[in-house]
């Protein structure tokens, strides 16, 4: 018995201690495990083909343990490399180059992440489809381009695939059939991949039985109506179809069968009509984003019955109606965003907030553009967990509530564009967690002291522009915060420069324009260690020279306009995008400015130097300024010719050289500036013919102003090809010949349509702090020089005055029915005024004065109902002035110097003819001979003058001798001068 027991006991003890023994063995051996040599060699080969500018992979050495290398994770027991995590999402250094097939030697690799790197212009290699052990592949935002290889469909073990493109449609597919080979896939992200050819995107994703998360944002998905999904897709929990420009809600009807969806993002599309009623059946939704669409219904009450909703975003639609009290049913809500731009009914803000204060979980609330009115009461104190609050663009008035500091968790607060008045309560200073504060564009007044900022230690963003506030702090005040964005436009900060600004070392945006500062910029401000992006000191009284600081002049956007800065132009960084130094007293040459680091490309797109004292020539070193879109040198003292290198500005849209002393011809190199919209070289000394290439090459031109120069020759017919032209000013030159009949081709002047605002196309992208200044032009309209800016794109005008033009006014000009001003005065035009001029229904100003026009005033002129300025004076017009409210209400001086009669002139018209309005009555009309007293007086004057001079010479011989001796003497003197 005992003998038989021993073997059994031994076996029992062996099984009892075997796990401990194995555990000890493996744990002891683990410390000695090193990566497998073949895998180390594979990684080293992989590294050789990478570009690693920051030496991030310095630990990858030939004899090192690859299990300890950066981004490499080995299995605890086998030491095989099973994770390669080289994402640059959390580190500043990025990798590039290309992927080496040596990765295929990592047979056990299941996790591969190259996201947020820079494999620019590199295609995703097809050999990745051979790495069968992969379960996680992340190539998102890594710079890959081209066709996604279908071989990725061989990765049958894959559970996570992220191919989100970092470049707009840098990656594309022809179809998605290859996805069918990934039966275990749970997470798929192909955002920003061009899927416009993938007609099968719905059918294929329906076959992925395990799919939980599908993100297809900004993929150019085809707008077709797919079939209703099968139950296979019911596993889907997250769906993102934002930014695909869908229009009809029927396109997404298949979504409503996905009853298990927890998160649905349909933002940034073109969906119209009411919010789809089928959404009410998706009761599992906790995240719903319908923002940035065109939904135009009221908010249905059933939407508030989705009790699991935690995130609801209905912002930026055309929703109407009001916010129902049923919103209080969203008891799970953590974040709510609603705007009602089409709402016509004001709602009391305090009542809405009272309802929302019952939502105990609410952390983020945005009720923007919702016509909320009334006063903010102390109800805000009931929001215990509120972190983010925005009531932007409403009509809320009254004072800012003192209780605002009660939600001590607030980090974001936006009250911009309301009607708050009164002062800022000092309790604001107790919001210790507040990071972002927007109170701009209100009616706040009074004094702000350092007590208002006493505890704002977390503040990073402060926008408070557009109020009437005065900052009064002690001279040595040091704020408790370090701001990154600061906008105090229109505050009273002066007259001295605020010294506390020099303590803000991380400023990225600074706007202290129009703040009554009358001081020099202190050197300590230029010594800040931060890097500005946007700097606006405009509309103050700064004087002296600008500190030569790399901090100031390396900002991307610099606006120092409308001050009293003087001295030479500063050197600027090549990275500046926008520079406005207009309306100052800068003087001297600009050669150093344009030729600084002449071989270094400049990024600047907008340059405004108008209204200064700059002089000299424009140097011929603009070759590397070819990003310029706007060049404004108006109202300076520049001279010489335009350099040929200006033709290298191929993106130039707006060229302003008004009121300088430029001379010679316009250089032919300007024909390379084919996207020009404005050419304004008026008030200079340019000469030569008007170049015909303007019509051939500058086909987008909308404003051409050559006024007050020395251009001569004919008006080139090639200008007629400028179909976008709205303003053409060739006045005050030496042009001759006839007006081209092809003017009827000016199609922009032939319609009343308001053009797209191409005049400010560079301005459509806003930069931080506001838009760029609008384009402007000085035009002579209605006899006055006026500057147009905000309505410039509405003006349509032709001015050919003060030239030597001859011939008739072509009847084709009357086809320009959108024209508002037509000035042909001070020429030698003959013939009659076109009979159908009355069809030009938009005309407000006509000036045909000082020509040789004849005939009668066309009766159709009386139909010009918008006409308020007319000058037909000093022509040869005859007959009766047509009757109309406009023509009779004009000043009589509009008709003088003709043979016209009738109101508003005092000369009456007869039934048989016309009485000249400024002449003597002829004897024919009184029964006698007609006498023209002008010629009678001319003859009498000649006789008197002749006998006054010649009579004494004929009658007095001595005077005759002296007179001819004088002539002989003058002749010899003149002859000597000519010979010399």
pLDDT cut 90: percent of the chain above it: 66
Res. 760: pLDDT tops 80: no
Which helix (DSSP H) or strand (DSSP E) does residue 968 occupy?
Answer: helix 957-979
- Residue 620 clears pLDDT 90, i.e. is over it: yes
For 115-133, the DSSP string reads: TT---TTBPPPGGGGG-TT
pLDDT for position 199 = 85
Of 241-255, 642-656, 954-968, the range with the lowest mean pLDDT is 954-968
pLDDT, tens digit, for every residue of 283-294? 999 999 999 999
Q: How far apart are CA 920 and CA 933, in angstroms?
A: 8
Mean pLDDT score, 355-369: 94
Reading phi first (left if > 0) and then psi (alpha if -120 to 50, else beta), residue 551 is in alpha
> Does the pLDDT at position 17 exceed 60?
no
CB 468 within 8 A of CB 490: yes
Report the distance separating Cα 194 and Cα 675, nearest Å: 30
pLDDT tens, residue by residue, 19-45: 444 333 334 444 456 889 999 999 999
Instruction: State mean pLDDT over 467-487.
Output: 95
Q: Measuring CA to CA, how many Å separate 957 from each of 211, 943, 950, 963, 969?
A: 127, 22, 12, 10, 19
pLDDT value for 39? 95
Task: Report pLDDT digits (tens) over 294-333.
Answer: 999 999 999 999 989 999 999 999 999 899 999 999 999 9
Residue 546: which residues within 8 A CB-CB, separation 6 or more?
A: 521, 552, 560, 565, 567, 570
Q: Is the pLDDT of residue 741 over 80?
A: yes
In angstroms, the first-to-last Cα distance of the chain is: 156
pLDDT-based confidence at residue 155 (cuts at 50, 70, 90): very high
Q: Decide: helix, strand or coil at residue 21.
A: helix
**According to the model, what pLDDT value does residue 211 have?**
94
- Residues 812-824, mean pLDDT to the nearest whole number: 94
More confident site: 743 or 553 = 743
pLDDT in tens, 168-180: 668 999 999 999 9
- For residues 345-359, give the mean pLDDT: 92
Radius of gyration, CA atoms only, the chain = 40
Residue 687 parent element (H or E): strand 685-689
User: Is 808 strand, coil or helix?
Assistant: strand
pLDDT for residue 384: 86
pLDDT tens figures, 492-523: 999 999 999 999 999 999 999 999 999 999 98
Cα–chain center distance at 893: 47
Query: Which whole-number Å values give the CA distances from 245 to 266, 290, 292, 667, 764, in the listed order?
Result: 10, 13, 10, 45, 21
**Max mean pLDDT range (405-414, 426-435, 550-559, 921-930):** 426-435
**When comparing pLDDT for 346 and 834, which is higher?**
834
pLDDT at residue 7 tops 70: no
**What pLDDT is recorded for position 924?**
35
Res. 266: pLDDT tops 50: yes
Q: Could you tell me the two tokens for 809? A: 């006014």
Predicted pLDDT of residue 303: 94
Q: Which residues pair with 209 in a beta bridge?
A: none
pLDDT band of 915, cuts 50, 70, 90: very low
Least confident stretch, 65-74, 837-846, 936-945 = 936-945
Is 50 exceeded by the pLDDT of residue 114?
yes
Confidence bin at 167 (pLDDT 50/70/90): confident
Instruction: Tell me the average pLDDT of the chain.
Output: 86
For the chain, the residue count is 980
The three-state secondary structure class of 894 is helix
Q: Give 661 or 28, the one with higher predicted confidence.
A: 661
User: Which is higher by pLDDT, 752 or 699?
Assistant: 699
CA distance 310 to 312: 7
CA-closest candidate to residue 466, choices 485, 487, 486: 487
Alpha-carbon distance 358 to 330, whole Å?
A: 10
Q: Which two tokens stand for residue 756?
A: 């797209």
Residue with tokens 């790399």: 550
Region 874-899: what's the mean pLDDT?
Answer: 90
Provide φ and ψ at 398, rounded to 5°.
80, -175
pLDDT at 964 over 70: no
Tens digits of residue pLDDT in 782-791: 777 778 777 7
Contact 620, 597 (CB under 8 A): no
26's tokens: 């493996």
Residue 171 CA to its chain's centroid (Å): 27
Across 446-450, average pLDDT: 94
When pLDDT is averaged across residues 336-352 and rounded to a whole number, the result is 90
Residues forming beta bridges with residue 223, ordered by sequence position: none
Provide the pLDDT confidence category of residue 547 given band limits of 50, 70 and 90. Answer: confident
Please list, in sequence order, all residues whose beta carbon lies within 8 angstroms of the beta carbon of residue 600, skipping any fewer than 6 positions away: 574, 624
Parallel, antiparallel or unpaired: strands 685-689 and 734-737? unpaired
In angstroms, the CA 632 to CA 645 distance is 16
Q: What pLDDT shows up at residue 771?
A: 60
**pLDDT at residue 565 is higher than 70:** yes
């Amino acid at each position: 018995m005992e003998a038989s027991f021993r073997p059994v006991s031994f076996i029992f003890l062996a099984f009892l201690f075997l796990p401990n023994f194995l555990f000890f063995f493996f744990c002891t051996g683990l410390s000695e495990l090193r990566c497998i040599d073949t895998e180390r060699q594979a990684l080293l080969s992989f590294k050789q083909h990478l570009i690693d500018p920051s030496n991030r992979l310095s630990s990858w050495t030939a004899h090192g343990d690859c299990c300890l290398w950066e981004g490499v994770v080995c299995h605890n027991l086998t030491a095989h490399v099973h994770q390669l995590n080289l994402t640059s999402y959390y580190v500043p250094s990025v990798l590039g180059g290309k992927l080496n097939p040596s990765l295929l030697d990592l047979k056990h690799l299941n996790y591969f992440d190259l996201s947020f790197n820079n494999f620019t212009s590199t295609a995703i290699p097809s050999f990745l489809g051979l790495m069968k052990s992969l379960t996680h592949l992340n190539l998102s935002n890594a710079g890959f381009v081209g066709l996604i290889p279908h071989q990725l469909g061989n990765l049958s073990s894959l559970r996570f695939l992220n191919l989100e493109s970092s470049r707009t449609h840098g990656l594309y597919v022809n179809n998605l059939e290859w996805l069918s080979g990934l039966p275990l896939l749970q997470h798929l992200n192909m955002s920003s991949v061009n899927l416009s050819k993938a007609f099968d995107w719905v059918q294929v994703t329906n076959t992925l039985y395990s799919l939980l998360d599908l993100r297809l944002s900004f993929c150019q998905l085809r707008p077709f109506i797919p079939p209703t999904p099968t139950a296979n897709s019911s596993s889907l929990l997250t769906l993102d179809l934002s930014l695909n420009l869908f229009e009809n809600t029927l396109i997404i009807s298949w979504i409503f069968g996905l009853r298990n969806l927890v998160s649905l993002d349909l933002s940034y599309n073109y969906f119209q009509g009411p919010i789809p009623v089928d959404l009410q059946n998706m009761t599992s939704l906790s995240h719903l984003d319908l923002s940035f669409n065109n939904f135009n219904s009221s908010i249905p009450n059933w939407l508030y019955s989705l009790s699991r909703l935690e995130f609801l975003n209905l912002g930026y639609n055309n929703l109407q109606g009001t916010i129902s009290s049923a919103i209080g049913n969203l008891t799970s809500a953590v974040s709510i965003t609603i705007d009602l731009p089409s709402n016509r009914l004001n709602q009391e803000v305090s009542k809405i907030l009272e309802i929302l204060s019952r939502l105990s979980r609410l952390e983020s609330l945005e009720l923007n553009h919702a016509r909320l009115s009334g006063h903010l009461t102390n109800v805000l104190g009931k929001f215990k967990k509120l972190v983010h609050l925005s009531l932007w663009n409403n009509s809320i008035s009254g004072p800012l509530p003192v209780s605002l500091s009660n939600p001590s968790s607030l980090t974001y607060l936006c009250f911009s564009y309301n009607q708050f008045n009164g002062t800022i309560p000092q309790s604001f200073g107790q919001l210790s967690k507040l990071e972002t504060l927007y109170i701009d564009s209100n009616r706040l007044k009074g004094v702000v002291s350092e007590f208002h900022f006493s505890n704002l230690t977390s503040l990073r963003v402060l926008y408070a522009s557009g109020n009437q506030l005065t900052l009064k702090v002690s001279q040595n005040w040091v704020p408790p915060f370090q701001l990154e964005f600061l906008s105090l436009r229109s505050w009273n900060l002066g007259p001295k420069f605020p010294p506390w600004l020099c303590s803000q070392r991380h400023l990225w945006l600074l706007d202290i324009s129009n703040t009554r500062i009358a001081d020099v910029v202190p050197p300590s401000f230029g010594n800040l260690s931060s890097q500005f992006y946007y700097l606006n000191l405009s509309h103050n009284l700064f004087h002296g020279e600008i500190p030569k600081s790399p901090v100031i002049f390396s900002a991307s956007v610099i606006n120092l306009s409308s001050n009293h800065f003087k001295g030479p132009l500063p050197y600027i960084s090549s990275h500046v995008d926008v520079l406005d130094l207009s309306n100052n007293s800068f003087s001297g040459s600009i050669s150093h400015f344009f030729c600084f680091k002449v071989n270094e490309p400049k990024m600047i797109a907008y340059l405004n130097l108008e209204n200064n004292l700059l002089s000299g020539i424009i140097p011929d070193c603009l070759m590397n300024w070819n990003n310029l879109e706007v060049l404004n040198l108006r109202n300076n003292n520049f001279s010489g010719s335009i350099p040929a290198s200006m033709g290298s500005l191929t993106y130039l849209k707006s060229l302003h050289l008004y009121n300088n002393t430029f001379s010679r011809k316009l250089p032919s190199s300007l024909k390379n500036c084919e996207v020009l919209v404005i050419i304004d070289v008026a008030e200079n000394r340019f000469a030569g013919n008007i170049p015909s290439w303007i019509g051939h090459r500058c086909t987008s031109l909308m404003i051409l102003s050559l006024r007050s120069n020395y251009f001569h020759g004919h008006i080139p017919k090639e200008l007629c090809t400028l179909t976008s032209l709205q303003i053409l000013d060739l006045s005050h030159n030496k042009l001759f010949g006839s007006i081209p009949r092809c003017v009827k081709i000016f199609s922009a002047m032939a319609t009343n349509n308001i053009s797209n605002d191409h005049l400010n196309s560079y301005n459509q992208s806003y930069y931080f702090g506001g838009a760029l200044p609008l384009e402007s032009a000085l035009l002579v309209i209605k006899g006055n020089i006026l500057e147009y800016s905000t309505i410039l794109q509405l003006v349509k005008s032709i001015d050919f005055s003060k030239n030597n033009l001859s011939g008739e006014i072509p009847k084709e000009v009357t086809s320009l029915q959108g024209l508002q001003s037509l000035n042909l005065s001070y020429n030698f035009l003959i013939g009659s005024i076109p009979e159908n001029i009355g069809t030009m229904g938009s005309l407000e100003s006509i000036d045909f004065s000082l020509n040789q026009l004849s005939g009668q005033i066309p009766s159709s002129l009386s139909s010009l109902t918008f006409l308020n300025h007319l000058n037909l004076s000093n022509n040869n017009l005859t007959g009766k002035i047509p009757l109309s409210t406009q023509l009779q209400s004009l000043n009589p001086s509009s008709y003088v110097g003709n043979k016209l009669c009738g109101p508003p002139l005092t000369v009456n018209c007869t039934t048989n003819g016309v009485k000249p309005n400024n002449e003597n009555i002829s004897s024919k009309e009184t029964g006698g001979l007609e006498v023209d007293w002008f010629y009678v007086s001319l003859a009498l004057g000649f006789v008197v003058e002749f006998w006054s001079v010649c009579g004494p010479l004929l009658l007095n011989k001595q005077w005759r001798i002296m007179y001819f001796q004088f002539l002989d003497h003058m002749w010899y003197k003149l002859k000597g001068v000519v010979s010399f």
